[in-house]
């Protein structure tokens, strides 16, 4: 426990130092507006990939509708800030509550399914959310919601991302997280040992959906216009790529996957037709040579790895 607390403190100090460095570069104009936007997207994608990893990686469920919960958080947030002039923090909390509540209601019936059936059900539910939003004229319908205040800053994204990482890390290390991991490893054995599998699957799904709602609120307030086209199945698939690329069951892997995928997307902005080809090739090569992802179940704060890094730093 003391080791975990020491690691948390070191990583928190490292995070604050990284923020200070990047914020200083942004203030000095050393980072262009294009890459400033992509820094925001990296942070938002980290929140999305880590929250999806809680469902897919740690609990062993196969969700393909994560962008739907992001859409709920985005639209709840922009309605509160644009139409009711509430502060961003209220919009993010309301978006998280809305997405989390919807995740809970959807999770109760669907998480009794398993495998391919669950994937198809969550895919359909994500599309239902998007289609419903498209037909609500109050939020702009298919044309999108316009006139959104540009409230998302690098500081907001970075510290919400940091909170998300620490929250999910501590959840995974708690008794609730261990129950989720037990379900992933063998759901029948976990149930036989007295684990309420439906309860913990719904809990993980609700928490993952809530953080997706927060990411949606940050995403929406990064632009002046959002539309349902931003939350299609391809968006959910994109977040799944980040999780698989980094490693199912690794928070470090989710961070790495979000960074790599976002960076590739930004670097290939002028050649969008090649982006999906490179994604596909990267996944094929990964499945051949490292099917567990870049990090597998490994974390950068693992005892042996972390001690080696600290030892080298002292030398």
**pLDDT beyond 50 at 78:** yes
- Identify the residue whose tokens are 């490693």: 247
Distance of CA 270 to the CA centre of its chain: 26
Residues 6 or more apart from 205 whose CB is under 8 A from it?
55, 59, 61, 63, 103, 104, 106, 107, 111
Lowest mean pLDDT among 47-51, 62-66, 108-112, 180-184: 108-112
pLDDT at 109: 84
Q: What tens digit of pLDDT does each residue of 110-132 get? A: 887 777 788 888 999 999 999 99
DSSP character string of 41-63: HHHHHHHHHHHHHIIIIIS----
Query: What's residue 284's pLDDT?
Result: 83
Residue owning tokens 């990090």: 295
Residue whose pair of structure tokens reads 């895919």 in the numeric block? 123
Size of the chain in residues? 315
Q: Are 45 and 261 in contact (CB under 8 A)?
A: yes
Instruction: With a cut of 60, say whether residue 310 has pLDDT above it.
Output: no
Q: Crossing angle of helices 66-78/197-220, nearest 10°?
A: 50
Q: Are residues 245 and 259 in contact, defined by beta-carbon separation less than 8 angstroms? A: no
Residue 312: pLDDT over 80: no
The dihedral through the CA atoms of 19, 16, 250, 178 has a sign that is: negative
- How large is the angle between the packed helices 154-173 and 197-220, nearest 10 degrees? 170
Sign of torsion, CA 207 244 255 182? positive
> How wide is the angle at C-alpha 300 spanned by C-alphas 206 and 93, nearest 5°?
30
Burial class (CB in 10 A: 0-12, 13-18, 19+), 174: exposed
Rounded Cα distance between 192 and 282, Å, is 39
Percent pLDDT > 70 in the chain is 94
- Stretch 231-253: mean pLDDT, rounded? 90
Nearest Cα neighbor of 12 from 153, 170, 174, 154 is 170
Average pLDDT of span 176-189: 93
Other CB atoms within a 10 A radius of the CB of residue 260 amount to 17
pLDDT, average across residues 258-287: 81
pTM of the model: 0.91
Residue 67 burial by Cβ neighbours in a 10 Å radius (0-12, 13-18, 19+) = buried
Tokens standing for 45? Answer: 């994608």
Task: Mention every residue, 6+ apart, whose C-beta is less than 8 A from residue 305.
Answer: 298, 299
- Cβ-contact 255, 293 below 8 angstroms: no
Per domain, the residue ranges of the chain are 33-231
% of the chain surpassing 90 pLDDT:
64
Lowest mean pLDDT among 179-183, 248-252, 294-298, 301-305: 301-305
Q: For 27, left (φ over 0), alpha (ψ -120 to 50), or beta?
A: alpha
């Amino acid at each position: 426990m003391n080791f975990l607390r020491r690691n948390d403190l070191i990583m928190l100090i490292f995070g604050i130092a990284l923020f200070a460095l990047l914020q200083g570069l942004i203030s000095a104009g050393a980072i262009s507006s294009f890459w400033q936007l992509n820094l925001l997207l990296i942070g938002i994608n980290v929140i999305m990939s880590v929250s999806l990893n809680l469902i897919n990686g740690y609990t062993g469920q196969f969700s393909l509708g994560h962008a739907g919960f992001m859409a709920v958080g985005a639209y709840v947030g922009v309605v509160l800030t644009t139409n009711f002039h509430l502060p961003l923090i209220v919009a993010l909390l309301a978006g998280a509550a809305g997405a989390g509540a919807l995740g809970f209601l959807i999770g109760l019936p669907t998480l009794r399914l398993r495998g391919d059936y669950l994937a198809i059900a969550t895919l359909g539910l994500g599309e239902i959310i998007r289609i419903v939003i498209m037909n609500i004229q109050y939020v702009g319908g298919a044309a999108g919601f316009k006139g959104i205040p540009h409230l998302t800053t690098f500081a907001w994204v970075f510290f919400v991302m940091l909170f998300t990482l620490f929250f999910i890390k501590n959840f995974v290390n708690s008794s609730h997280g261990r129950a989720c991991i037990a379900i992933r490893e063998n759901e029948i054995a976990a149930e036989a040992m007295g684990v309420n599998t439906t309860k913990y699957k719904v809990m993980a799904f609700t928490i993952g959906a809530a953080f997706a709602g927060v990411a949606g609120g940050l995403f929406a307030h990064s632009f002046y216009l959002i539309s349902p086209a931003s939350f299609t199945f391809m968006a959910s698939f994109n977040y799944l790529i980040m999780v698989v690329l980094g490693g199912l069951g690794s928070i470090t892997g989710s961070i790495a996957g979000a960074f790599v995928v976002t960076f590739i997307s930004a670097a290939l902005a002028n050649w969008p037709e090649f982006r999906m080809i490179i994604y596909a090739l990267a996944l094929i090569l990964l499945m051949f040579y490292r099917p567990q992802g870049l990090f597998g179940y490994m974390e950068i704060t693992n005892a042996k790895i972390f001690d080696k890094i600290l030892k080298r730093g002292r030398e």
